[in-house]
Amino acid sequence: MAALFEIVPNISEGRNLVTVDAAVAAMTDAGVRVIHRTSDHTHHRSVITAIGSGAQCVAAGVALAKVTLAHINLRTHRGAHPRIGALDVLPFVPLRGATIEDAVTLAHRAAGRIWRELGIPSFLYGAAASQPHRALLADVRRGEFEGLPARAVDGNWQFDYGDIAHITAGAVAVGARPVLLAFNIELDSRDLKLARSIARTLRESGGGLRTLRALGIALRNDRVQVSFNITDYAATPVERVTELVRVMAGRAGVSIARAEVIGLIPEAAVDRAARVYSTHLKTDA
């Protein structure tokens, strides 16, 4: 069977759904099958999940970059989520009959086309990173759109493709990675220091859980959120993250208000969480 890939682009638009509709349409016209989309007003960000062949995924990424270039201006963009580009993140994920090396090849192909055809530069991250210090997306995005001019003259942070940030579209983080689980936990509190403390303690870079990325974010509804990316859901199960947040927030007298998955979640992760919580329910009963 033909190799199958997933792309999960994040665009810096979560409020104008006409623009998001145009983005989805452009990707579909390029040949991929869009299987999920979600938009968030506070983050001012949309996440689109699509599957297709390698060629289709590259074409869809380029088509999406063209739409975001036409409709998103980062000079006036304000949202809770960090961003460096109108098309902020473009990860290639190997699924059926494909390897991470194949995904790296596609990431290079897409980044090259986006620069040549649209004049938008790229950093490569994840398995496609050109240097170890560029592997983590959070490091690539540090300083955000406003910090790109300084990075262009920094020998450690010059673009992998292109030489100058686009004036309105910024740059793209193009990567190759395994399946990722994006998961947010909303606290019944407006204490941003607490959310950031929990994120700092739990994330891998702070000495916490392996493969876990985390941010503390203020929401518009007088609540705060701990936003997670789990890059290996087998090593760091979602239910373990949830219960650690529950304990840490509880020490401050705060409860979990709600949780949400962004995009799709592997069936194995759902099954494991269901087994764990169903066991607890039986024990409690």
Active-site pick, 43, 81, 108, 166: 81
- In DSSP terms, 166 is beta-bridged to 170
Distance CA 234, CA 282 (A): 24
Q: Please report which helix (H) or strand (E) contains residue 230, including its range.
A: strand 224-230
CA atoms within 13 A of residue 19's CA, in its CB half-sphere: 22
Q: Which of 92, 69, 76, 94 is nearest to 11 (CA)?
A: 69
The distance of Cα 282 from the centroid of its chain, to the nearest Å, equals 36
Distance CA 38, CA 46 (A): 6
Strand order in the sheet with 256-262: 212-218, 224-230, 181-187, 256-262
Known catalytic residue: 81?
yes
CA atoms within 13 A of residue 33's CA, in its CB half-sphere: 6
Maximum Cα–Cα distance across the chain: 62
Q: Is the sign of the CA dihedral 109, 160, 263, 65 positive or negative?
A: negative
In the numeric block, which tokens belong to residue 10? 């994040």
- Contacts made by residues 138-142, CB under 8 angstroms, sequence distance 24+: 138/82, 138/205, 138/213, 140/84, 140/173, 141/82, 141/83, 141/84, 141/88, 141/173
Annotated catalytic residues are 81
